[in-house]
Structure 1
């Protein structure tokens, strides 16, 4: 599981640990990742923390190798890590675009490449965390939205390519949540049109992190047989119209 130092991925890690799953958790923030690992261990599971930068393809392979070396098998890959750069389109830098695409799309791509041979052996699952931004236009989030749309497309393509196998591939598309990433939007102080942001802020407030974590845990489990190639919208109605 990626991004487990904080936010949604941390919630998923603790949810799965409480259900009895052993975990390989990955994040760039080593100190916060160790805190998540310790909390998960307190629930009785074994944990392999891997502090690495998933923007580099070789580190994606390393993370899967570490999981196999520790546990001998892989039952689910949860691609949750994400970055968001909230900025007017003409101010997005090449570095911001590169990082956004590398973490939000390329990392799940290379992690899936490395994980699929092991997941085929265990009738396993891939769960990708997309976003409501993959389905609607969102001002000041062009790079983020494009990366998440690409992740949804990857989910569908993998589902078709492995349709005749036992591998399950699905995605979740949350709306704004009370996480550190969500705070990036609220904390932006640049020149922007608040009315444009309100168009995708939703009428029902922020989405519950616990609700999304519960869905990811389900999709990663053996009870998710009917989920393959789809994306579960969990945005409190934002993408409905």
Structure 2
């Protein structure tokens, strides 16, 4: 098992990508600290993973004491911390006209500042275990879609932080930091989001090639595989890197044929 006896804190892990990562961590021998906003969503996952393998703490990660609470939950329950997965995020549309300063500040608070604060709180324990951090970003980190302005800004800042800390923390403390930039992933939230925008129920089955050369979107479980690799010892000294989980290159893509 690739994560045998490792302790992993995963934010935003009651649903979607975070839940897929939590399931895979436990399958690979780890114990996990789960986090989310809705307590009722934690119950089925805790039952599935087993009381000996998972604990949880329901809290908004932007609350002042949330990073310390989450880290201490891991230490109290399992005695150490080997990895942090910063997955919790706001994914919402906005553009230059609709992005207010308070809106941007909230986006940055959840998607960039809270992950930084969690890393800061976890660092003393990660130093002891020579642990690692995996930040879940987005391919929109590179430039972003016109209607994902605030989101793209926040994920771009997260990517810069990942590269910076991936160098400095590894050199000084042996703590690795990497980022995964997912493309379009079919999660519960995305299904709801697209329905709210007026898309038909089966929209994801009829995607144009420009968005999905594979004729489908990624599954959360496929992204979880990348996260497991970066947390496992087999990834060796890899740090300060950004892995794109996408169906096409962001740079140098061949233009679609008309």
Q: TM-score under structure 2 normalisation? A: 0.83
The alpha carbon displacement at 1:92 in A equals 2.7
Consecutive unaligned residues in structure 1, runs of 5 or more? 191-197
Q: Does 1:167 align with 2:175?
A: yes
Q: Does 1:207 align with 2:214?
A: no
1:29 corresponds in structure 2 to 38
The alpha carbon displacement at 1:29 in A equals 1.2
2:97 corresponds in structure 1 to 90
* Secondary structure of the corresponding residue to residue 23 of structure 1: strand
1:179 is matched with which residue: 169, 184, 187?
Answer: 187
The alpha carbon displacement at 1:94 in A equals 4.1
Whether the aligned pair in 1 keeps the contact of 2:170 and 2:177 (CA below 8 Å) is no
The alpha carbon displacement at 1:188 in A equals 4.8
Number of residue pairs aligned between Structure 1 and Structure 2 = 233
The alpha carbon displacement at 1:139 in A equals 1.6
Q: Does 1:235 align with 2:246?
A: yes
2:231 corresponds in structure 1 to 220
Consecutive unaligned residues in structure 2, runs of 5 or more? 1-9, 199-207, 254-258
Stretches of 4+ moved more than 6 A in 1?
none
Whether the aligned pair in 1 keeps the contact of 2:94 and 2:150 (CA below 8 Å) is no
1:122 is matched with which residue: 129, 153, 156?
Answer: 129
The alpha carbon displacement at 1:178 in A equals 0.5
Whether the aligned pair in 2 keeps the contact of 1:79 and 1:129 (CA below 8 Å) is yes
The alpha carbon displacement at 1:185 in A equals 5.0
Q: How does 1:54-65 map to 2 (within 5 A)?
A: 54-65=61-72
* Secondary structure of the corresponding residue to residue 122 of structure 2: helix
State the distance in 1 between where 2:42 and 2:110 align. Answer: 17
Which has the higher Rg, Structure 1 or Structure 2?
A: 2
The alpha carbon displacement at 1:200 in A equals 7.6
The alpha carbon displacement at 1:37 in A equals 1.6
2:21 is matched with which residue: 12, 33, 39?
Answer: 12
State the distance in 2 between where 1:26 and 1:107 align. Answer: 13
* Secondary structure of the corresponding residue to residue 62 of structure 1: helix
